[in-house]
Structure 1
Amino acid sequence: MFGVNDIPKFFLAFFLVLPIISFVHEAGHVFFAWLMGGRNIKVSVGSGDVLFRLGMLEVRKYYFWYGLCSFDSLKRNHRLANILIFAGGALFNAIAAVVVIYLIENNTIQPNLATYQFTYFSLYYIFFALLPMPYPGGSSSDGKIILDLIRNKKQLGERTYRIQWNNEEKQWCVLNDDQELVQAFEDEEQALTKAHEVAQSNRPSRLINIKNGKEVEVQNYPRIPL
């Protein structure tokens, strides 16, 4: 039964242990994103306004709630690479929990409230990360995305955006996934900037530049692991 004496334990778990577990989880995504050649890798721990940034790490005001990893342009952007990236968070949580249990069983560290909470909530994180379910707002759990990848669904709804020179109008056209015009520009760099903006805000997506009848991938924006 939860009593008054358990309140400090709750605060320890919520404000210290869970953020550490969240960081370990995001580290798993980062490791495999880096291994697969991801660029511009960033990690956000928490939500709300940014408190500080340290390299790729970004800590937000409510550091104990939520977390995500983002990256662009995977060099190895294939099905297995994406499965490893999305499974990486749960895998790192599992490894961390096993290491703590091993250290306790070998009397390297003494069992205490923090180690108990760490192993317990690591399993909690693993379960809900791998449970295949959709989230409000259109995102999904890591488990659902992994399941979709295993089923080989078409790149999880990946959209393709293109910029193409229109010889008749003498303009660079930004086209959406249905080959419909988003916006036209006289300058190629302006068209590229707009295309990057649209593709990045509609992950997962690819950005392609069509020159001399050939399609060249400029960048890909994979779905963000949570």
Structure 2
Amino acid sequence: MFGINDLPKFLFAFFLVLPIISFVHEAGHVFFAWLMGGKNIRVTVGSGRVLFQVGILEVRQYYFWYGLCTFDNLKRNQRFAHILIFAGGSLFNGLAAVAVVYLIENEVLEAGILTYQFTYFSLYYVFFALLPMPYPDGNYSDGKVIIDLIRNKAPVKTYRVQWNEEKKQWCVLDHDRKLIEAFEEEEQALSRAHEVAKQDRPSRLVSTKSGKETEVQNYPKVPL
């Protein structure tokens, strides 16, 4: 039974162990995103205002709650690559838990509250990350995204920057080739296209010149 004497242990887990597990989880996403050629990789631990930033790591005020990994322009932009990236967080959590148990059994680590909570909450993370469900904010769990990828139900929208000879303008077109906005300069059109594509992940941005389409950048869905 949970008693008043267990409260410090709970706080210890909540404010120290969980952020470490969250970092391990995001590290799994980052590893496979890097392996698949992802660019602009960033890791956010926590929510709220930014406390500090070191390299690709950003730690926010409520460091014990939430986390995500963002990246752009995968070189290996196939379905299997995305599955690996979204499964990577749970894989790292599972491997970390197994490693801790192994080290305890071989008396390298001493069994205690820290190792127990780390193992327990690592498996907790794995379960809820892979449980296929939508979140209230509109995001999906890693498991839900993986299932959609396997079923090929994860639509990737394509945004286009295309020269309109009649209007003498660069047009930004949505996935249905409907006009979003038109500009006189190509750089302005590309900037606007990057903005809308980035906000509608997963998406691709292509440039159409002389009837030929060239991918400028792709924006994969963000793993949590």
Shared fold per TM-score greater than 0.5: yes
Q: Output the amino acid matched with 1:147.
A: I
**What residue number does 2:159 align with?**
161
Moved beyond 2 Å, runs of 4+ = none
Normalising by structure 1, we get a TM-score of 0.98
Q: Note the C-alpha offset of 1:190.
A: 0.4
Please list the CA deviations of residues 120-153 of structure 1 after superposition, one character each: whole Å capped at 9, or x if unmatched.
Answer: 0000000000000011122100001111111122
**What residue number does 1:85 align with?**
85
**What residue number does 2:175 align with?**
177
Structure 1: 5+ residue stretches without partners: none
Correspondent of 1:213 among 211, 214, 219: 211
Please list the CA deviations of residues 79-115 of structure 1 after superposition, one character each: whole Å capped at 9, or x if unmatched.
Answer: 1111100000000000000000000000111100010
**What residue number does 1:103 align with?**
103
> Is 2:207 the partner of 1:224?
no
> Is 2:208 the partner of 1:193?
no
Identity %: 72
Within 2, Cα distance between the matches of 1:137 and 1:183? 28
Within 2, Cα distance between the matches of 1:188 and 1:125? 45
Please list the CA deviations of residues 158-187 of structure 1 after superposition, one character each: whole Å capped at 9, or x if unmatched.
Answer: 111001001111100000011111110000
Structure 2: 5+ residue stretches without partners: none
Q: Output the amino acid matched with 1:51.
A: L
Q: Secondary structure at the match of 2:177?
A: coil
Q: Output the amino acid matched with 1:201.
A: Q
> Is 2:40 the partner of 1:19?
no
> How many equivalent residue pairs?
224
Q: Output the amino acid matched with 2:108.
A: T
**What residue number does 1:41 align with?**
41
**What residue number does 2:3 align with?**
3
Within 1, Cα distance between the matches of 2:165 and 2:213? 17
